[in-house]
Amino acid sequence: AQSVAQPEDQVNVAEGNPLTVKCTYSVSGNPYLFWYVQYPNRGLQFLLKYITGDNLVKGSYGFEAEFNKSQTSFHLKKPSALVSDSALYFCAVRDMSAAGNKLTFGGGTRVLVKP
Amino acid sequence: EAQVTQNPRYLITVTGKKLTVTCSQNMNHEYMSWYRQDPGLGLRQIYYSMNVEVTDKGDVPEGYKVSRKEKRNFPLILESPSPNQTSLYFCASSFRASTSEQYFGPGTRLTVT
């Protein structure tokens, strides 16, 4: 069965500092990986995805993520965090061998960027 | 504007009173799905639909029903709601199930007393 782990419930970072949100996954087949962000009282918004190709993926709002197959990780990064980046972040994995191409989400990591 | 809409946004109801949460998308997406979000558990899939007339159970389907009679709509039905179905519900759609990212609705906060 596929699974996603986000080991940190919350990440605190000062504005202007680098931001990293960790994600590790487990699938039986090739993974398709996604990051979503949820702002208060809003639905989830897509940030970026890894399907194939370059291991470094660039997405919306200056975010990027690096796919590491050997470590089964897909950490989200931003070089310089903004207060407006404060939100709930979800990593998700799709196992193409699973029924219905199921998308499994991690438990979420709350990011708090302080001025 | 491309979007997924859900109604109602907030709902307080009592145990056993049937309710329907509507979901509609205007992007001609094939794939639609329902999730519930609970603190610390992330999003868990309730049901999904690969295309019209094709639906299947997700991880937590008990107590829920869905239908996909037309491409744009995917209502979630709770025939006899119970307090453990108190949650935040999201509808999502994507062009296809595989490589496409999902577009989420704004959410429906349901409280069952």
pLDDT 10s digits, A33-43 = 999 999 988 88
Residue B99 scores a pLDDT above 80: no
The C-alpha of A50 sits at a distance from chain B's nearest C-alpha, in angstroms, of 9
The confidence score (pLDDT) of residue A2 equals 84
All residues of chain A having their beta carbon less than 8 Å from the beta carbon of residue B103 are 46
Percent of chain A at pLDDT above 70?
97
Residue A96 scores a pLDDT above 90: no
Interface contact A110, partner B, CB < 8 A: no
Strand B76-78 versus strand B19-25 pairing type? antiparallel
> What is the pLDDT confidence band of residue B53, given thresholds at 50, 70 and 90?
confident
Interface contact A49, partner B, CB < 8 A: yes
Beta bridge partners of B38: B42
The confidence score (pLDDT) of residue B98 equals 76
Residue A97 scores a pLDDT above 80: no
The C-alpha of A47 sits at a distance from chain B's nearest C-alpha, in angstroms, of 9
The confidence score (pLDDT) of residue A29 equals 82
How much of chain A is helix, strand and coil, in % rounded to 5?
10, 55, 40
How much of chain B is helix, strand and coil, in % rounded to 5?
5, 50, 45
B73 three-state secondary structure: strand
Mutating which of A21, A37, A44 best tests the B interface, going by the most B Cβ atoms within 10 A? Answer: A44
What is the sign of the dihedral through the CA atoms of A38, B105, B26 and B94? positive
The confidence score (pLDDT) of residue B42 equals 86
The confidence score (pLDDT) of residue B32 equals 95
CA A3 to chain centre: 13
Closest CA to A14 of A111, A87, A91, A108: A111
Interface contact B23, partner A, CB < 8 A: no
Lowest mean pLDDT among A105-109, B24-28, B50-54: B50-54
User: Phi and psi (nearest 5°) for B43?
Assistant: -105, 135
Mutating which of B38, B56, B100, B101 best tests the A interface, going by the most A Cβ atoms within 10 A? Answer: B101
Residue with tokens 């504005």: A15
If one compares A80 and A101, the residue with the highest pLDDT of the two is A80
Distance CA A32, CA A103 (A): 9
Beta bridge partners of A49: A34
All residues of chain B having their beta carbon less than 8 Å from the beta carbon of residue A34 are 101-102
The confidence score (pLDDT) of residue A1 equals 77
Closest CA to B97 of A102, A4, A76: A102
Nearest to B42 among A99, A100, A107 (CB): A107
Question: How many CB pairs (< 8 A) connect A and B?
Answer: 57
Beta bridge partners of B73: B24
Residue B1 scores a pLDDT above 90: no
